[in-house]
Chain A
Amino acid sequence: MSYQQKFSVWRGDSDGGDFVEYDVEVNEGEVVLDVVHRLQATEAPDLAVRWNCKAGKCGSCSAEINGRPRLMCMTRMSTLPQDTTVSITPMRTFPVIRDLVTDVSFNYEKAREVRAFVPPADLAPGEYRMQQVDVERSQEFRKCIECFLCQNTCHVVRDHEENKLAFSGPRFLMRVAELDMHPLDAAEDQEGLNRKAAAQDEHGLGYCNITKCCTEVCPEHIKITDNALIPLKERVVDLKFDPMFIRRRKRKSKEKEQVSEEG
C-alpha cells in the first residue's frame, strides 16, 4: 500500500532559499512528519525541522502544508491529494532560521508581557475552592499547546510586521481572557490591574476584527474568537460604562502624576 509522492520542501535560511523537489515513498497511515523524517534519514540528513511528541501534544511541528498552517505530525498523508505535489513551507509570519524552523521568539516576548496569575492573599495553598463550571471557560483556553499557528495566521501580523509591536496576537489575547475568567485571580484587587483594560490598551485587542481565521487553524479546536476574543471585547465595552472603573482609572493617573511631581 506504499506509493511515491512528490514533495516540494522550502529549504534555506535567513538569507533566502528555494523549493527543493523530492520524490518520497509514503506508507499507509503516515503523517507529513513521517515523510520529513524519511527525508532526513535518506536524501536530506541536514533538513531542519522542529518536533517533539509526534502526537499533537507539544505544538512544535507547525508549518504550512499546501499553504495551510498545520501540525506536521497530525496531517495524515491520506488527506492530501496524491496526484499533485505536496508543498511544505515554514510558518510565514515568523523569520526563518533554517528550512522549516522559524524564529518564534515574538511569542515568548508577548507571553512575558501578560501579567501572570496573581494569587489571592487571603487564601493559603490547599484552600482554593472553585466549581467545575467556573473553571471550564479558562480550562478551554489552557488546552493551548502553543503551536503558534493562530499567531501565524492572523492577518493583523501575517503581512504587517509593523503591527507586531502593538498586537499580542490571538494566543496571548486569549491568555488575558483566561486570566480574566479565572475565578480566583486577584490582579485587580491586589495590583489594581484590570485585565480587560490591559487587553485593550497593552495587547492591541482593538486590532482584532473577529475574522475567526485563528480559530479555523487551531489544532486544539479552541474557539478562540467566539469564546475568548468576543467576550473580552464585550467586557471592554461594559468597562467604559462602569463608574467604579472610571473612578479607579482617574485615581491611577492621579497617583502617577503625584509620583512624577515627587520624583
Chain B
Amino acid sequence: MSEIETHSYDVIVIGAGGSGLRAAIAAREAGKKTAIISKSLFGKAHTVMAEGGCAAAMGNVNPNDNWMVHFRDTMRGGKFLNNWRMAELHAKEAPDRVWELETYGALFDRTPEGKISQRNFGGHTYPRLAHVGDRTGLEMIRTLQQKIVSLQQDDFARTGDYEANIKVYAECTVTDLIKDGERIAGALAYWRESGRHLLLEAPAIVMATGGVGKSYKVTSNSWEYTGDGHALALRAGASLINMEFLQFHPTGMVWPPSVKGILVTESVRGDGGVLTNSEGKRFMFDYIPDVFKDQYATTEEEADRWYTDADNNKRPPELLPRDEVARAINSEVQAGRGSPHGGVFLDVSSRMPAETIIKRLPSMHHQFKELADVDITKEPMEVGPTCHYVMGGIEVDPDTGQASVPGLFAAGECSGGMHGSNRLGGNSLSDLLVFGKRAGDGAAAYVDSLSARPVLDEVEVKRAQERSVAPFGDGSQDGAENPYTLHQELQQTMNDLVGIIRKEEEVRQAITKLGELKERAKNLVVEGHRQFNPGWHLALDLRNMLLVSECVANAAVLRQESRGGHTRDDYTTMDAEWRHKLLVCTADGDDGVQIVEQEQIPMRSDLMELFELDELKKYFTDAELPGGATA
C-alpha cells in the first residue's frame, strides 16, 4: 500500500463531543500535544442535541441541595448498580465543572440573584439542571469548542501556529487501535472526504465516541452512534460492562413516521407537562413502584402543588426515573389506551400560557410545528419510548478513566459504570465534564510515567488498512450484500427482540439472527470509490454495530431480573442477588464476545451511611447490609 499520512501526538482523543473536548482541554493544559478526531465536523457531535440541562448540585435554586443528595439520587436512579466511586466523584465535582464553563464564556439562564438557574428533572430531588432554554447541549459544545479555539489562539500568539499543540481532525473516522504488545501505540483512521488513510501515533488514547443507538430502529440518536468506541476498545482487549442496560427515553416523537424517535425533552414534564392516555387519565399515578412510594405524590392536587411549593409536597409521578415512565407508557399502549399513532399524550397546552411555553420550550415548539404540524401551545403532543442512551460501556478506573489496556482511557457515554442500570436525565452532560477532565488528566499522567514511547507495529497497520477497504471487494463475491439492507435488518431485530421489554426466547432469536447478519456482512460490497462514500462508511460502521449488539443481546439473556434499563418479561422483579454482579464482555477472536460475571466492589461505609437502612434493604442482600450476616 502507498505511503500513509502519519502524525505524532502525546494524547489522541477520539470524539469531539462534550467528553472528548473536555478531555482534550485537560490534556492540553497538562502540556500534552493533543489531537481530537471526529467523524463529523467540529461542533456537530451528538452532545449538540442535548436539550434539558446539566445536573450539578450548586444549590442555586434550592439551598438544601448538595453533593450527598445528588449522589443518593444518582444511586437510586441506577438502582444501586452504579459504580459508587464514579457517582461520588460526579456528584462532588459537577458544580466546579459547570462553573468552569462560565470562565470559558458559557451563558446559562440566570436566577433573580444572577446565579446559574437550575430546573427540575426526573429523579432529581431539587431543581438541579443548569440549562439554556432547551438547547443546553448546544451551549455546552459551543463553549468547549470556543475554549479549544482560545487555547489555539494562545498557541498562535506564542508560536505562530494555531495547531502547534492541539489540532482537530474533523470528518475523520478511526477504524482500528494499534498496539505495541499490550500497550496502546496509535490509531488508524480514514478521511471521509478523500477516503485516504491516516495514521496517528500516540502512547495514550482517550475514547469519547458516545453511544450505540443506531442499532435500533426507533432512536433519538444520530448516524454517529454506531458504538465505534465500544467495539474498538473491545477488539483492543478492553472490557465492557453493563451492556444489557439501555435507556429508552419515555418521550420520543411518534408521528409522522419519518421523525419517529426524535426526542421530546424531559423538561416538558419538569416544567409541568402531564402524560394522559386515550381516556384522558393521568395514568402515571398507577405506576409508582414500591421503592419510590414515599417520594411521589399520589393525587393530582398534591402533584400540582409541588411545582410551586416543592418543600411541602411530593413530586408528580410524571417525574419518576425514565425507565419507570417508559414502561408505563408501553403498558398503556399495550392495553389499548394509546393515542392514534401508537403513543400517549403529553400536554403542556392546558398547563401554562402560550408565551411561557414558547419561552421555556422554544425548540420543542419549533420542532413540533415544523415537523408534525402540531402547535404545542394549543394541543397535546403524541409521544412514545425511543432508544436513547447506553448505560453500558468501557470499564474504567473511576479516578483516572483508564481502561484495562495500558494507554487506553474512556469518558462519556462510551464508558460504563457511572449510571448503573439507568441514567438520570441531566447526569450525562455533567458526566462528560467530570470524567472528560479526569480522563484527560489521567492520559497526561500516564504519558509522563512512560520511559519509552511505544512503537507502531507495521504489520498490524497494514492488516487494519486492508480490512478497512475490504468492502470494495475484488469482484469475486457472489450474492453481494448491501450495507443499507443489512443495517435495516439489524435495526428491526434489535428493536423487536432486544427492546424495552425482553423475553429469553426472543433475545435468543436475536442472537441467532445477529450470527446470520455477521456471516452475511462478510459479503458486503459497496459501490463507487473512496471519496465521501456513505455506503462504504456504513459498511465499516456495521461491523461495530454488530459486535456491540451482540454484547447487548448476550448480556440481556444472562441477567435474569428486571432492573433499570433491562426489563425481562420472564423475570419481572429486581433481585438483590443480581445487584452486586456485573456482566463483563470481552472479545472472543476478532468479532465474537464472551461474558463473565464479576462481583461489584462493596460500597464504602461512609457512603452507605448516607442512606436509611430501610431504603438499602430494598436493594441489598442481608449479608451486604451494615451489621448484616457477614460470613
Contact = CB atoms under 8 A, between A and B. Distances in A.
Interface of A: 13, 27-31, 34, 40-41, 45-60, 74, 76, 97-99, 101, 104, 108, 111-112, 115-117, 119, 125-126, 128-132, 135, 138-139, 142-146, 179, 182, 185
8 contacts: A48-B533, A51-B223, A55-B367, A57-B363, A117-B105, A130-B114, A143-B135, A145-B48
B150 A117 contact: yes
A117 B223 contact: no
B30 interface: no
Contacts of A27: 256-258
A178 B492 CA distance: 45
A125 B533 contact: no
B107 interface: yes
Given A50-B41, A116-B146, A116-B149, A142 B367 contact: no
Contacts of B40: 50, 52, 58, 60
Interface in B123-154: 132-133, 135, 137-139, 142, 146-147, 149-150, 152-153
Contacts of A179: 105
Contacts of A40: 484, 534-535
B138 A57 contact: yes
Given A59-B44, A116-B150, A182-B105, A46 B528 contact: yes
A183 B115 CA distance: 13
Given A29-B257, A116-B153, A146 B527 contact: no
A186 to B, nearest CB: 11
Contacts of B224: 52
Nearest to B152: A112
A55 B110 contact: no
B614 interface: no
Contact of B146 (A45, A50, A56, A117): A117
Nearest to A33: B258
B388 to A, nearest CB: 13
Contacts of A98: 193, 531-532
A142 B108 CA distance: 11
Contacts of A99: 532
B99 A126 contact: yes
B110 A135 contact: yes
Interface in B79-136: 95-96, 99-100, 102-105, 107, 109-110, 112-115, 117, 132-133, 135
B282 interface: no
Contact of A135 (B44, B107, B153, B262): B107
Given A30-B258, A45-B534, A117-B105, 18 more contacts: A29-B255, A31-B371, A46-B536, A55-B262, A55-B263, A57-B363, A58-B222, A60-B44, A74-B370, A111-B149, A116-B147, A117-B146, A125-B96, A128-B99, A131-B114, A132-B112, A135-B107, A143-B138
Nearest to A107: B41
A142 B102 contact: no
Nearest to A109: B162
B306 interface: no
B189 to A, nearest CB: 18
Interface residues of B, number: 71
Given A41-B484, A45-B527, A46-B528, A34 B258 contact: yes
Contact of B114 (A101, A129, A139): A129
A142 B527 contact: no
Contact of B532 (A48, A76, A132, A139): A48
A2 B98 CA distance: 48
Contacts of A28: 256-257
B250 interface: no
Given A29-B372, A52-B44, A135-B107, A125 B100 contact: yes
Interface in B199-252: 222-224
Q: Which 6 A-B pairs have the closest CB atoms?
A: A29-B256, A117-B105, A116-B150, A46-B528, A129-B114, A125-B99
Contacts of B115: 129
A104 B256 contact: no
A207 to B, nearest CB: 23
B527 A108 contact: no
Contacts of A30: 256, 258
Contact of A56 (B105, B193, B367): B367
A242 to B, nearest CB: 25
B43 interface: yes
Nearest to B145: A111
B107 A138 contact: yes
A116 B153 CA distance: 8
Given A46-B527, A50-B41, A97 B532 contact: yes
Contacts of A41: 484-485, 488
A53 B222 contact: yes
A59 B529 CA distance: 27
B526 A45 contact: yes
B153 A142 contact: no
Nearest to B147: A116
B49 interface: yes
Contact of A139 (B49, B107, B535): B107
Nearest to B362: A143
B370 A54 contact: no
Contacts of B107: 130, 135, 138-139, 142, 182
Contacts of A104: 41
A139 B132 contact: yes
Nearest to A74: B370
Contacts of A125: 96, 99-100, 102-103
A131 B58 CA distance: 18
Of the candidates B49, B138, B150, B223, the one having the most CB atoms from chain A within 10 angstroms of its own CB is: B138
B259 interface: yes
Given A52-B223, A129-B115, A131-B114, A31 B258 contact: yes
A27 to B, nearest CB: 7
Contact of B49 (A50, A58, A74, A116): A58
Contacts of B620: none
A126 B95 contact: yes
Of the candidates A52, A57, A108, A146, the one having the most CB atoms from chain B within 10 angstroms of its own CB is: A57
Interface in B29-60: 40-44, 46, 48-49, 58
Nearest to A148: B41
B258 A29 contact: yes
Contacts of B256: 27-30
Nearest to B483: A45
B482 interface: yes
Contacts of B370: 56, 74, 76
Given A30-B256, A57-B363, A132-B109, A76 B135 contact: no
A144 B624 CA distance: 51
A128 B48 contact: no
Contacts of A138: 107
Given A40-B534, A52-B40, A60-B41, A128 B484 contact: no
Contact of B104 (A48, A111, A117, A130): A117
Given A55-B262, A57-B48, A46 B533 contact: yes
Contact of B366 (A50, A56, A60, A111): A56
Contacts of A50: 40-41
Interface string B252-275: 000111110011000000000000
Contacts of B527: 45-46
A132 B111 CA distance: 7
A45 B528 contact: yes
Nearest to B150: A116
B149 A49 contact: no
A142 B143 CA distance: 10
A119 B40 CA distance: 30
Contacts of B103: 119, 125, 128
A94 to B, nearest CB: 12
